[in-house]
């Protein structure tokens, strides 16, 4: 059986303490360079692979410094601080002598406590009640995800029509299906198409500059997500002078909140 | 005229390229160590003071690795990547040989574009219609802010009563008033008291582990904020197994969105 394309894409070959070689994956190619979610997952994987890692990811921030060129990259991760139950990481991806991504992560050993969710999963039709994707995406990475839009799909036409808000709801999972883990959850956090396209139906050049994922899920919630769909909901707060933000939530099919994620995106107008 | 306590607190003395010495400020003391917002502002100030800085902050993430001890610290900031109009930063605060904070920042030269805000400022009474703080805070940093709660103030009693949601709205500014800048906006992003106290009215030990600020404001919006109040609105999405998140928005009095900010917070139960 051949490896899942996601596993192939995030595979890292150890190069000594805290360093790995990775390689961009044609399966996750975007218009220019790779899908940002896969790049973020590659850097997170360096933290996950580190022999000194303590616990599971709680917070992860990736900053996209420059387009990643097709080919190899060096992934670096070092624990900047290790406490009794938390650990702080600094990571980078480099190509040649250039930094293409910077990242920080917090990992922690989690203990059961009182809990609550303030954003119940919206009541929407299930993934089985919605049509699967019908046509191949114009960029390759789109074909690595099964996306079923509930609300706020791609603009039907680039006709410059203005939407009043930027909300999108969709069911999404890896294609082919793959059991959810922290790396794939990080990548799924970046699946939402740019909020400015949703608002303006205009083919505006964009690029995510910084993305943060808060992992509400531990091992139990990941297990209950399995290889099923996640419901994702995203919206923007503001667009101004070349940058907009996006805030999103991801739930597993049983309705548990798995991640909240935020990003700021450059746009050219 | 003496300096504003905020300026004294974030002051940094150059120690050669990319390094500064700072000092914790008793004026911003919290229960244990300093108010996290001032620590975040100190590290951001290292980026702001750097002679090679390009543009203004767009995104900033600070990770709180350990309690900051009263006394001096070393602030380090280096540009990991400089592009034509954006720049990526890695920063750290150290005490002795220990890292107490890691941070990344994106700065950028912003250009005027189409813009929109999807979260209009809530219609609430103005700061002049609400009573100013009446009593001194139990920790010193509280006295450095004029906070006027619109909704969701501190629990009236630690009686364990459960609130259904964690929303808080308040007007806030530096006390005494001080013209808003990027450093003080970063600190104000951390002013909200812990969402778990709002939900449970139980004195739960907490600590922010990671905080992100997206600066929607440029120089014009900061100028229009002046030394007036900002309206802040915060809520949590989820609380689970020792960590909860918080998402907040900050507007100036004219109603312009200045910042969206997110954090993940440890809690012990």
The model's confidence at residue B135, banded by pLDDT at 50, 70 and 90, is confident
Q: A30-34, A65-69, B136-140: which has the minimum mean pLDDT?
A: B136-140
Find, in chain B, the residue whose alpha carbon is nearest to that of A218: B241
> CB A88 to CB B102 under 8 A?
yes
pLDDT at A10 (0 to 100): 98
Distance CA A105, CA A101 (A): 13
- Name every chain B residue with its beta carbon within 8 A of the beta carbon of A200: 114
Evaluate if residue B118 carries a pLDDT over 90.
Answer: yes
pLDDT at B102 (0 to 100): 98
> CB B240 to CB A209 under 8 A?
no
pLDDT at A250 (0 to 100): 98
CA angle B192, B194, B198 (to 5 degrees): 100
DSSP class of residue A164 equals S
> CB A240 to CB B115 under 8 A?
yes
> CB A88 to CB B108 under 8 A?
no
Evaluate if residue A1 carries a pLDDT over 70.
Answer: no
As given in the structure block, the two tokens for residue A63 are: 């900053």
Distance CA B108, CA B91 (A): 17
pLDDT at B185 (0 to 100): 98
Percent of chain A whose pLDDT exceeds 90 = 94
Disruptive mutation site among B108, B114, B121, B167 for chain A (greatest number of A CBs within 10 Å): B114
> CB A116 to CB B238 under 8 A?
yes
pLDDT tens for B2-19 read 899 999 999 999 999 999
- Name every chain B residue with its beta carbon within 8 A of the beta carbon of A90: 90, 102
The model's confidence at residue B231, banded by pLDDT at 50, 70 and 90, is very high
Find, in chain B, the residue whose alpha carbon is nearest to that of A165: B118
The dihedral sign for the CA sequence B213, B113, A65, A178: positive
- Name every chain A residue with its beta carbon within 8 A of the beta carbon of B100: 81
Evaluate if residue B113 carries a pLDDT over 90.
Answer: yes
pLDDT at A76 (0 to 100): 98
The CATH code of domain A5-110+125-267 reads 2.40.160.210
The average confidence (pLDDT) of chain B is 96
> CB A237 to CB B260 under 8 A?
yes
Peptide bond into B176 cis (omega under 30): yes
The model's confidence at residue B133, banded by pLDDT at 50, 70 and 90, is confident
- Name every chain A residue with its beta carbon within 8 A of the beta carbon of B65: 80-81, 83, 88
pLDDT tens for A191-244 read 999 999 999 999 999 999 999 999 999 999 999 999 999 999 999 999 999 999
Inter-chain Cβ pairs, chain A and chain B, closer than 8 A: 208
- Name every chain A residue with its beta carbon within 8 A of the beta carbon of B266: 86, 108
Provide the shortest C-alpha distance from residue A60 to chain B (in Å). 9
pLDDT at A268 (0 to 100): 95
Domain ranges of chain B: 5-110+133-267
pLDDT at B183 (0 to 100): 98
The model's confidence at residue A269, banded by pLDDT at 50, 70 and 90, is confident
Give the architecture (CATH level 2) of B5-110+133-267. Answer: Beta Barrel (2.40)
pLDDT at B1 (0 to 100): 67
- Name every chain A residue with its beta carbon within 8 A of the beta carbon of B61: 61, 104, 210, 212
pLDDT at A212 (0 to 100): 98
pLDDT tens for A254-264 read 999 999 999 99
Task: State the average pLDDT over residues B122-130.
Answer: 97
The model's confidence at residue A2, banded by pLDDT at 50, 70 and 90, is confident
pLDDT at A135 (0 to 100): 76
- Across B32-43, b (16+ Cβ under 10 Å) vs e yields ebbbbbbbbbbb
Provide the shortest C-alpha distance from residue B173 to chain A (in Å). 22
Residue from the list B58, B61, B66 with its beta carbon closest to the beta carbon of A61? B61
pLDDT tens for A121-174 read 999 999 999 998 877 878 999 999 999 999 999 998 999 999 989 999 999 999
pLDDT at A136 (0 to 100): 80
Distance CA A88, CA B210 (A): 10
- Name every chain B residue with its beta carbon within 8 A of the beta carbon of A239: 113-117
pLDDT at B136 (0 to 100): 81
Evaluate if residue B182 carries a pLDDT over 70.
Answer: yes
As given in the structure block, the two tokens for residue B117 are: 């805000």
Provide the shortest C-alpha distance from residue B103 to chain A (in Å). 7
């Amino acid at each position: 059986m051949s490896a899942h394309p996601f596993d192939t894409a995030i595979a890292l070959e150890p190069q000594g303490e805290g360093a790995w070689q990775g390689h961009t994956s044609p399966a996750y190619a975007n218009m220019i360079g790779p899908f940002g979610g896969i790049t973020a997952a590659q850097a997170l994987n360096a933290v996950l692979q580190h022999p000194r890692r303590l616990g599971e990811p709680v917070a992860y921030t990736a900053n996209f410094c420059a387009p990643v060129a097709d080919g190899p990259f060096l992934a670096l991760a070092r624990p900047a601080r290790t406490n009794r139950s938390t650990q702080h990481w600094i990571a980078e991806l480099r190509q040649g002598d250039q930094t293409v991504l910077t990242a920080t992560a917090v990992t922690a050993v989690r203990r059961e406590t009182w809990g609550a969710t303030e954003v119940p999963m919206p009541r929407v039709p299930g993934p089985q009640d919605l049509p699967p994707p019908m046509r191949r995406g114009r960029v390759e990475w789109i074909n690595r995800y099964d996306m079923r839009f509930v609300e706020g799909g791609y603009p039907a036409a680039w006709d410059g029509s203005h939407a009043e808000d930027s909300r999108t709801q969709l069911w999404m999972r890896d294609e082919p299906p793959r059991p959810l883990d922290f790396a794939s959850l990080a990548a799924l956090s970046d699946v939402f198409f740019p909020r400015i396209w949703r608002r303006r139906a205009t083919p505006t050049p964009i690029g995510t500059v910084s993305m943060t994922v808060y992992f509400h899920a531990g091992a139990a919630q990941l297990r209950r997500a399995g290889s099923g769909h996640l419901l994702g909901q995203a919206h923007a707060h503001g667009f101004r002078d070349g940058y907009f933000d996006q805030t999103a939530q991801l739930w597993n099919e049983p309705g548990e909140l798995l991640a909240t994620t935020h990003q700021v995106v450059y746009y050219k107008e």
